[in-house]
Amino acid sequence: MVVSKTIFGEIDSEPVYLYKITNKNQTSISVISYAATWQNFEVVEDGQKHSLIEHFDELEDYVNTPYQVGKTIGRVAGRIKDANFKIHDVDYQMEQNEGENFLHGGSHGLQYQNFDSRIISDKGVLFSHTVHGEDGFPGTLKVNVVYTLNDDDEVSIVYGARTDENTLFNPTCHVYFDVGDENIRQQKLQINSKDFLDVDDGKVPTGELLATEGPYDFKKPKKIGDGLDQLELLNKFEYDDTFVVKRKAATIQSDKRAVDLYTDRNGLVIFTANPQDAQKQDKHDYSSLAMEMQTLPDAINHNGFGNTILGKNRKVVYTNHYKYRKLD
C-alpha cells in the first residue's frame, strides 16, 4: 500500500491537499481536504484504468458545483422540514436555505469547509474539522472522517463526532457512481429495500413508507434506464428518492464491474444527475447516480426513522463501505 500527498489547490489562502491511496492491485482512491471529498476511485483491468465515480480535476469545480460531488455532507444530510426540530423539548430554528426547509447542514455545512488532514497509516487518511454552532445548530462539534482502502479493493469511510451540547449528526458522502463504459442508463442497480419514503412537494418526508414497486422496485438488478422509463409514465423524470435499507444496501454494476455498498445506518438516497453538463442535465441526459448512505432524512421529526441525536459529551461512529468487484 502507498499513500501520496500533493497540493490540489488553494482556498481562502489555505492549501487544499490531495491524498492518493494505492493498493497492490493498483486500485486507488483519491481524497481532498476541501469538504473531505472523495475525488476519485480508479481500478486497473487488463492494463486499462477505469474511474468508477464522477469527479473533477480542478478545485474550482468542487467549489462551484451545486451537486456537492463527492463531498462530505453535514452535520445533517438531507432536508429538515421547516428548518425546525426539538431535542428534549428544546426548540431549534435553523436557517431556511431551501424554501422553508433546511438542506444538507446549511450554508456553512461540512461540504464548504477545508478540513485538517494527515496520513494515519499506509492505507488511510484522516480529515478533521470543528464547527461551532453554525447555521443554528447547538454545540461545538468535532468531526473526523477517515478514508481507507485495503488490498481487497474495499473502501471504508468512517465518520466520528463528539459534541459539548445535545445536537444532530447524520453525515454522508455525496458520491456519484458511473461504473461502466456504457451510459448510466444501461448500468444495473439493485437496492435491498422493500420500502421508500413518501415526500411532499418540497421533497421532505411525510413520515409514510411506500412499497418499492414499479419504477422503485430494484430488489433484483434492473437497468437504471428501465426505471427512468417507468418513471416517465408517472410524469417524473429523475430519481431523488430515499430507500429503507439494511447492512448490504445496494449494488451498481456494468457489464464488466460492480460496486457493492454497505452501511450501518438505514437509508440510501439515490439521485440521477449530470454534474458535468448543465444542458444535458436539463434534458434528463444523466451521467451518474448519486448513492448517499445515511440515517433516513428528517429523522428527528419522525418516529421510527432512526436516531440522529448526538448527546452532550457523547461520541458516535458511522461507517459506509464500498467494494469493487470485477465481473467475469
Catalytic residues: 174, 292
Q: Which residues pair with 48 in a beta bridge?
A: 45
Buried b (16+ CB within 10 A) or exposed e, 215-251: bbbbeeebebbebbebbeeeeeeebebbbbbeeebbb
Contact 27, 149 (CB under 8 A): yes
Spatial neighbors of 97 by CB under 8 A, at least 6 apart, are 83, 103, 106, 107, 135
Residue 75, preceding bond cis, omega within 30 degrees? Answer: yes
Spatial neighbors of 245 by CB under 8 A, at least 6 apart, are 191, 192, 193, 263, 266, 267, 268, 293
Give the three cell numbers for residue 248: 448490504
